[in-house]
Amino acid sequence: MKKYIALLLCLLMVVSCFVGCGKKEDETVDLVVWTSYEEGTPTYDVANEYIAKFEKEKGVNLEVVHYGRDLGTILGTALEAGERVDVFLLGSQQQLAANVEYTMDITDYITGSDMLDRAYPIHMQTIETYGEDEGRYHAIPTISSFNSFWYNKAAFEDAGITETPETIEEFEAVCDALVAAGYAPMALDGGYALSTFAPLAERYCGQEAISDMAFNGGFAEHEGFVKACQKIIDWKAAGYYDPSSPCEWPASQNKIGLTGENVMVYTGAWLPGEIEKMTGAELEWGCFKFPYDPEGPGTYSTSVSCSCNCINVNCENPDLAWEYLYYMCTGEADKAITDTDGYLINDRTMEPAPTFVEAKALLENTTEVMDYSAGLHANADIKTSMTETVVNLYAGVYATGEEAAAAFDAVVGK
């Protein structure tokens, strides 16, 4: 397998001459940059435009290779082999943690600039967490992602809803108003079942308790977990979910754009752009965090992730590498690239696209992060079975919260 990967890497490096911003053999390459932009996409074209601007402004030559989704497959092998890759992208904070030995400590660059004012604090907090030492940084965040309820503002207005809910009680009032106005409040595709149930369970149990039960059982004895299961059963009975949910992705979520039957869905920041591309609908989107229980042990948090732009620890021109990262991840370049890609802008000093006005405020005010599974996936040996049990809960397999909680214990084997 290692020989195969090495061969693949060699072949890709040959191809890179054609894929990247090609350089003549007699030109000096000042930086080698690997990106995840997909050739043939509008984002690819915009990124290349700003890369060319940077080269012209600085009078430098960059060898930029766009690997698209293949970047994550080959990058680790390249770094381990000592391949020259001065600047590269890691897909998440977890990937940063796994590859931190190959990344340069860029704390002095960050603190010596206005990056801490431009980046979302919660992203810098999570990146710091995955570095070698507290207070040190090994990346600049990009491609922000976080879970929230995304909703069609027109439907909220039609139902007379003027404020987004914060508590579970307020959320149920919103759903009742939508049902009364003729809507099925929530879309639900099976792929989102776990990440939708997780925050509800966290609100009533706390993530630490859920993680413990994933190994040791006790779901049926935990009053909060039984309550969370019962909420799903009650919400289905009250018509809060699309009648056909959980659907095969993207059938349910697409109804938000195709028919307007469904109003909101709980998932990541890619959702508005995804629905627009698949349905052609141009909706006015809003978002809010999963509601919380003021008297419960959980938090008013959400799962947050971002990709990480890094400088190779062996980079011979780190000052230029930093200038390149700063240029591409802030200001005009950042806005043009992220707006084209349909994501929230990374530079919070810039005006976001209209779709992400509420998302910007949400992320700026997020101080706590929960795992997307809230601990239900803490036991890797039963991850698949846990997810299947959650899907069964939404499918109406269990008559009561107690019965559902017992099914989770059966998965653990306790």
pLDDT-derived band at 133, boundaries 50, 70, 90: low
Q: Can you give the pLDDT at residue 130?
A: 60
Q: Can you give the pLDDT at residue 219?
A: 98
- Asked whether residue 269 falls in the same domain as residue 319, the answer is no
The answer, yes or no, to whether residue 262 has pLDDT greater than 50, is: yes
Q: Is residue 30 part of a domain?
A: yes
- Asked whether residue 118 falls in the same domain as residue 36, the answer is yes
Query: Is the model more confident about 282 or about 14?
Result: 282
pLDDT-derived band at 178, boundaries 50, 70, 90: very high
Residue 207 to residues 148, 212, 289: CA-CA distances in angstroms? Answer: 18, 9, 17
Q: How far apart are CA 111 and CA 295, in angstroms?
A: 39
Residues whose CB falls within 8 Å of the CB of residue 223, separated by 6 or more in sequence, listed in order: none
Q: Is residue 366 part of a domain?
A: no
- Asked whether residue 159 falls in the same domain as residue 278, the answer is yes
Q: Over pLDDT 90: what percentage of the chain?
A: 84
Longest dimension (CA), the chain: 73
Give the CATH number, domain containing residue 258: 3.40.190.10
The answer, yes or no, to whether residue 359 has pLDDT greater than 90, is: yes
Number of domains in the chain: 2
- Asked whether residue 127 falls in the same domain as residue 236, the answer is no
- Residues 335-353 as b/e (b if ≥16 CB within 10 A, e otherwise) read bbbbbbbbbbbbbbebebb
Neighbours of 295 (CB within 10 A): 7
- Determine the average pLDDT of the residues in 350-363: 94
Q: What is the pLDDT of residues 312-332, one digit of tens each?
A: 999 999 999 999 999 999 999
- Residues 158-197 as b/e (b if ≥16 CB within 10 A, e otherwise) read bbebeebbeebeebbebbebbeeeebbbbbbbbbbbbbbb
Q: Look at strands 304-311 and 148-152 and give their pairing.
A: unpaired
Distance of CA 302 to the CA centre of its chain: 11
- Determine the average pLDDT of the residues in 255-259: 95
pLDDT-derived band at 1, boundaries 50, 70, 90: very low
Q: What is the pLDDT of residues 98-129, one digit of tens each?
A: 889 999 999 999 999 999 999 999 999 988 86
Domain that holds residue 53: 16-144+305-352
Q: Can you give the pLDDT at residue 98?
A: 86
DSSP-based three-state secondary structure for 302: strand
pLDDT-derived band at 7, boundaries 50, 70, 90: very low
Q: At residue 332, what are phi and psi to the nearest 5 degrees?
A: -60, -40
Residues whose CB falls within 8 Å of the CB of residue 273, separated by 6 or more in sequence, listed in order: 341, 342, 343, 355
> Cβ(360)–Cβ(286) under 8 Å?
no
- Asked whether residue 38 falls in the same domain as residue 127, the answer is yes
Neighbours of 380 (CB within 10 A): 8
pLDDT-derived band at 232, boundaries 50, 70, 90: very high
- Asked whether residue 135 falls in the same domain as residue 272, the answer is no
Q: Can you give the pLDDT at residue 23?
A: 46
- Determine the average pLDDT of the residues in 180-201: 96
Q: Is residue 210 part of a domain?
A: yes
Q: Can you give the pLDDT at residue 129?
A: 67
pLDDT-derived band at 67, boundaries 50, 70, 90: very high
The answer, yes or no, to whether residue 25 has pLDDT greater than 70, is: no
The answer, yes or no, to whether residue 6 has pLDDT greater than 60, is: no
Q: Is residue 186 part of a domain?
A: yes
Among 349, 325, 323, smallest CA distance to 335 is for 349
Q: Is residue 1 part of a domain?
A: no
The answer, yes or no, to whether residue 220 has pLDDT greater than 80, is: yes
- Asked whether residue 28 falls in the same domain as residue 78, the answer is yes
> Cβ(335)–Cβ(109) under 8 Å?
no
Instruction: Summarize the chain as % helix, strand, coil (round to 5).
Output: 50, 15, 35
- Asked whether residue 263 falls in the same domain as residue 198, the answer is yes
Residue 358 to residues 51, 172, 266, 285, 289: CA-CA distances in angstroms? Answer: 30, 21, 15, 8, 11
Q: Is residue 54 part of a domain?
A: yes
What sign has the CA pseudo-torsion 173, 176, 180, 184?
A: positive
Q: Is residue 44 part of a domain?
A: yes
Q: At residue 35, what are phi and psi to the nearest 5 degrees?
A: -125, 175
Q: Can you give the pLDDT at residue 132?
A: 57
- Asked whether residue 231 falls in the same domain as residue 282, the answer is yes
- Asked whether residue 161 falls in the same domain as residue 121, the answer is no
Extract the tokens encoding 63. 């060898």
pLDDT-derived band at 12, boundaries 50, 70, 90: very low
Query: Is the model more confident about 92 or about 14?
Result: 92
> Cβ(54)–Cβ(31) under 8 Å?
no
- Asked whether residue 120 falls in the same domain as residue 24, the answer is yes
- Asked whether residue 79 falls in the same domain as residue 200, the answer is no
DSSP-based three-state secondary structure for 103: strand
Q: Can you give the pLDDT at residue 24?
A: 39
- Determine the average pLDDT of the residues in 358-386: 95
Looking at the DSSP assignment, which residues form a beta bridge with residue 247? Answer: 189
Q: What is the pLDDT of residues 379-412, one digit of tens each?
A: 999 999 999 999 999 999 999 999 999 999 999 9
The answer, yes or no, to whether residue 366 has pLDDT greater than 80, is: yes
Q: Can you give the pLDDT at residue 143?
A: 87
Q: Is residue 7 part of a domain?
A: no
Residue 345 to residues 94, 197, 284, 341, 348: CA-CA distances in angstroms? Answer: 21, 28, 17, 10, 7
Distance of CA 289 to the CA centre of its chain: 14
Q: How far apart are CA 225 and CA 210, in angstroms?
A: 8
